[in-house]
Amino acid sequence: MTLVGGLVLRTASTFVETTYWVEHTEEVIVALDDLRIVLVDAEAARRAYSLTGDESLLEPYATARERTGERQAAIRRLVSDNPAQVERVDALGPLVDQRLKYLDEAVTHRRERGFDLEWEASAVAARRSAPVRAAIEAMIAEERRLLAERQSAVRASFDTMRGVLIGGTCVSAALVLLAFSMLRAESDRRRRSEQALRVSEESLSATLHSIGEGVVATDPSGRVVLMNPMAERLTGWSVAEVRGKPSGEVLRLVDERTRDAVESPLEQALEQQASAAFSGPTLLVARDGVERSVADSATPIRDARGELTGAVMVFRDISAERAAELQRQKDEAALRVARDAAEAATRELEAFSYSVAHDLRTPLRSIDGFSQALLEDYNDVVDEDGKDFLRRVRAAAQRMGQLIDDLLGLSRVSRSELHRDDVDLTALAREIGGKLDQAYPDRVVDFVVAEGLRANADGRLLRIVLENLLGNAWKFTSKQANARVEVGVAEDGGGPAYFVRDNGAGFDMAFASKLFGAFQRMHKSTDFEGTGIGLATVQRIIHRHGGRLWANAAPNQGATFHFTL
C-alpha cells in the first residue's frame, strides 16, 4: 500500500509540474504574440498616417517602444529557466529595435516629404519587418514544441499515474479484500468466542443466581466486585451499594463463643494466596444486625499466567444445622448426665450384688455345713424324723444358694458389655452338648446340630443362652424314652432365626406369657427342678443383642425356642 501510495504521489507531483509547464508555455506564447501584435499595430498605424497624414492615428506607434520593452521584459522573465530561449530573447531585442527604428524613419519621411508612393512600395519596410516576425515565430514554435513535449509528458505521466492508480487500486483492492477476509475471519472468531463467553457467562450468572450459597468475589486488594443474590440476602447489602468497598465492611464475622471479630477467609486467601476456611463456629452479622451461623471457604483466583486477580468466597447459612448441632450437644450432655447416673446406679448394684454373693451365701454355708455336722457327729442322737428335717434344711439352703447364684448371673448378664464377634454356633452347641452328656451320663439324647451355624454375637453371652436352652431341653426330655434335641436355623423375615427344639414335656401355650419372667416356672419342682431364672436370663441376653425370643410348644409334644440376634 505504501508502495502504491508512493507511486501515486510521485506521478501526481509529476502531473502537477507538467501542468504548470503547459500553462507557462502558453504564457510565453501569449507574451510573444503580444509583442508581435504591438509591432503589427504600430506598422498599421504608420501606414494609416502615411495615407491620411492624420497625426492622431499614430498613437499605437507612439506607445510601441514602451510596450515592446514591457513585453520583452516579461518574456525574458518567463523563459529565464530556458537558456536557449533566453538567447533567442537576447537576439530578438536588436531586431525589435531595428523595426522600431524603421518605423521612426518612415514617420519622419512622411512628415517631411508627404505621401511617397515609391517609398511605400519599396520592399524595404517589408523586409525590415520579416526578421522580427521570423524570430518571434521561431520562439513561438519552440515554445509550442516544448508545450507539445510537455503535454505528452503530462499524458505519459497521467497514463503512468492511471496505470499506477489502476495497478495500485487493484493491489489495494486485493489487499483490502485480503484484509477484509482476515478481519471477517477475525470477527467471526471473536463473535464465536464472544458468544461462547456469553453462554458461559449466562450459565455462570444463572448458577450464581440460583445456588443456595452466598458468593462474594473481590479484586486483589480485597474490594468487592461481585455478590450473588444469596450473598446479598445473607449480608443485607446489595452489590450496587458495596461494589469497590473492602470485603470486611460487608462480611462482618464474629466467633460464636468469644464474639471476637474473625478475619474473613477472603482476606486470608488473598494474604496467604491459598484456600482458607473458618476454623470454628462463626456468625455472620448482617446489615440489620441479624446473626447467622455460616460455613464457608475462600480461594484465591489466578489468571492464565498465575497472576493473582482476586479471591472468591462461598458461604452457606448453617443456622438450622448449627441449632440442631447445639441441641444435639445439649441432648448429649443430658444423656451423659443420665448415663453417669445410670453408671453410678449400676456400680451401686454391682456393690450390692457383690455383697449378696458374699454375705448371703456365707450364712447358707453355715446352715448347710452345721446341719451336715449334726447328721454326721450326732447320728446316734437324732432320730429318722430329725434327720429328715436336717436334710430338708440342707436342701433349702442349697436351693437358696442356687437362686442367689442365678440372680447374680442374671444381673451380670445385664451389666456386662456386649462384645460382638463371629461365633461358631455349631461348635459351641456341640461343646455344651458334650458337657451335658458328661453331667448326665445315664441319659441318652439324640443330639443333632446343623452344620455351619454362625452368628455375630457376644460369644460369652451366647454360651449362657445355649447352656440354658440346651440344659432345659435335656431336663424336659428326661422322662422321654427317645429323647431328641435339635439345634438349627430358619429364615425369619430376611434374617436367620436360630432354634433349639426338643421332643420333651413341652408346655401349654396359654401360659407362654409367663415363660420368660424371673422365678416363673411351668412345671412342678417335684417333676422338674429349677429356679425359673434361666429363660429370663436368655431373654435378657437376646434383647441386649436387639433380637427376639419366642417359643412354640404343646404339652407332651416338645418345645421349640427361636431367637434372632
Partner 1 sequence: MNVNDKEILLVEDNEDDEKLTLRALKKSHIMNPVHVARDGVEALDYLFCTGAHAGRDPDRLPQLVLLDLNLPRLGGLDVLQRIRADHRTNALPVVVLTSSKEDEDVLKSYQLGANSYVRKPVDFGEFAEAVRHLGIYWLLLNVQPPIPRSGQ
Using CB under 8 A as the binding rule, whether residue 372 contacts partner 1 is answered as yes
Using CB under 8 A as the binding rule, whether residue 467 contacts partner 1 is answered as no
Q: Of the listed pieces 86-94, 111-119, 367-375, 551-559, which binds partner 1 according to CB under 8 A?
A: 367-375
Q: Which of 143, 317, 368, 406 binds partner 1 (CB under 8 A)?
A: 368
Query: Quick one: 264 or 371, whose CB is closer to partner 1?
Result: 371
Q: Which of residues 407-426 bind partner 1 (CB under 8 A)?
A: 408, 412
Using CB under 8 A as the binding rule, whether residue 361 contacts partner 1 is answered as yes
How many residues make contact with partner 1 (CB under 8 A)? 25
Return phi, psi of residue 442, to 5°: -85, -5
Q: Which of residues 8-27 bind partner 1 (CB under 8 A)?
A: none
At its nearest, how many Å lie between partner 1 and the CB of residue 399? 9
Using CB under 8 A as the binding rule, whether residue 358 contacts partner 1 is answered as yes
Query: Quick one: 113 or 358, whose CB is closer to partner 1?
Result: 358
Using CB under 8 A as the binding rule, whether residue 365 contacts partner 1 is answered as yes
* Spatial separation of the C-alpha atoms in residues 501 and 516, rounded to whole Å: 17
At its nearest, how many Å lie between partner 1 and the CB of residue 366? 4
At its nearest, how many Å lie between partner 1 and the CB of residue 461? 13
At its nearest, how many Å lie between partner 1 and the CB of residue 353? 8
Cell digits of residue 32: 510573444
Specify whether the CB–CB gap between 72 and 89 falls below 8 A: yes
Using CB under 8 A as the binding rule, whether residue 370 contacts partner 1 is answered as yes
Using CB under 8 A as the binding rule, whether residue 232 contacts partner 1 is answered as no
Q: Which of residues 58-97 bind partner 1 (CB under 8 A)?
A: none
DSSP secondary structure, 423-457, as one string = EEHHHHHHHHHHHHHHH-TT---EEEE-TT-EEEE
Q: Of the listed pieces 275-283, 359-367, 506-514, 528-536, which binds partner 1 according to CB under 8 A?
A: 359-367
Using CB under 8 A as the binding rule, whether residue 401 contacts partner 1 is answered as yes
Specify whether the CB–CB gap between 160 and 11 falls below 8 A: yes
Q: Which of 6, 94, 363, 434 binds partner 1 (CB under 8 A)?
A: 363
Q: Which of 8, 215, 234, 397 binds partner 1 (CB under 8 A)?
A: 397
The single-letter DSSP state of residue 222 is S
Query: Quick one: 74 or 367, whose CB is closer to partner 1?
Result: 367
Query: Quick one: 153 or 408, whose CB is closer to partner 1?
Result: 408
Q: Which of 82, 309, 319, 398 binds partner 1 (CB under 8 A)?
A: 398
Query: Quick one: 359 or 491, whose CB is closer to partner 1?
Result: 359
* Spatial separation of the C-alpha atoms in residues 73 and 80, rounded to whole Å: 10
Residue found under cell 531585442 = 93
* Spatial separation of the C-alpha atoms in residues 211 and 449, rounded to whole Å: 62
* Spatial separation of the C-alpha atoms in residues 96 and 35, rounded to whole Å: 9
Query: Quick one: 199 or 418, whose CB is closer to partner 1?
Result: 418
Please count the other Cβ atoms lying within 10 Å of the Cβ belonging to residue 476: 25
Query: Quick one: 243 or 399, whose CB is closer to partner 1?
Result: 399
Q: Assign 517 to helix, strand or coil.
A: coil
At its nearest, how many Å lie between partner 1 and the CB of residue 367? 9
At its nearest, how many Å lie between partner 1 and the CB of residue 544? 17
At its nearest, how many Å lie between partner 1 and the CB of residue 386? 18
Cell digits of residue 429: 452347641
Query: Quick one: 366 or 556, whose CB is closer to partner 1?
Result: 366
DSSP secondary structure, 263-302, as one string = --HHHHHHHHTS-EE-SS-EEEE-TTS-EEEEEEEEEEEE
Please count the other Cβ atoms lying within 10 Å of the Cβ belonging to residue 196: 10
At its nearest, how many Å lie between partner 1 and the CB of residue 384? 20
Query: Quick one: 286 or 349, whose CB is closer to partner 1?
Result: 349
3-state secondary structure string, 16-68? HHHHHHHHHHHHHHHHHHHHHHHHHHHHHHHHHHHHHCCHHHHHHHHHHHHHH
Specify whether the CB–CB gap between 528 and 504 falls below 8 A: no
At its nearest, how many Å lie between partner 1 and the CB of residue 379? 14
DSSP secondary structure, 294-348, as one string = EEEEEEEEE-TT--EEEEEEEEEE-HHHHHHHHHHHHHHHHHHHHHHHHHHHHHH
Q: Environment class of residue 209 by beta-carbon count within 10 Å: exposed (0-12), middle (13-18) or buried (19+)?
A: exposed
At its nearest, how many Å lie between partner 1 and the CB of residue 393? 12
Using CB under 8 A as the binding rule, whether residue 459 contacts partner 1 is answered as no
Q: Which of residues 317-356 bind partner 1 (CB under 8 A)?
A: 354
Query: Quick one: 238 or 416, whose CB is closer to partner 1?
Result: 416
* Spatial separation of the C-alpha atoms in residues 84 and 141, rounded to whole Å: 13
Nearest to 47 by CA among 128, 112, 116: 116
Q: Whats the size of the chain, residue-wise? A: 565
Q: Of the listed pieces 65-73, 129-137, 394-402, 549-557, which binds partner 1 according to CB under 8 A?
A: 394-402
Q: Assign 497 to helix, strand or coil.
A: strand
Q: Which of 56, 258, 279, 362 binds partner 1 (CB under 8 A)?
A: 362
Alpha-carbon torsion (351, 353, 355, 357), positive or negative: negative
Query: Quick one: 267 or 368, whose CB is closer to partner 1?
Result: 368
Using CB under 8 A as the binding rule, whether residue 366 contacts partner 1 is answered as yes
Using CB under 8 A as the binding rule, whether residue 373 contacts partner 1 is answered as yes
Question: Degrees (nearest 5) of the Cα angle 226, 230, 236?
Answer: 85
Q: Which of 405, 437, 467, 492 binds partner 1 (CB under 8 A)?
A: 405
Query: Quick one: 211 or 360, whose CB is closer to partner 1?
Result: 360
- 3-state helix, strand, coil split of the chain in percent (to 5) is 65, 15, 20
* Spatial separation of the C-alpha atoms in residues 355 and 542, rounded to whole Å: 27
At its nearest, how many Å lie between partner 1 and the CB of residue 348? 15
Binding site for partner 1 (CB under 8 A): 354, 357-359, 361-366, 368-373, 394, 397-398, 400-402, 405, 408, 412
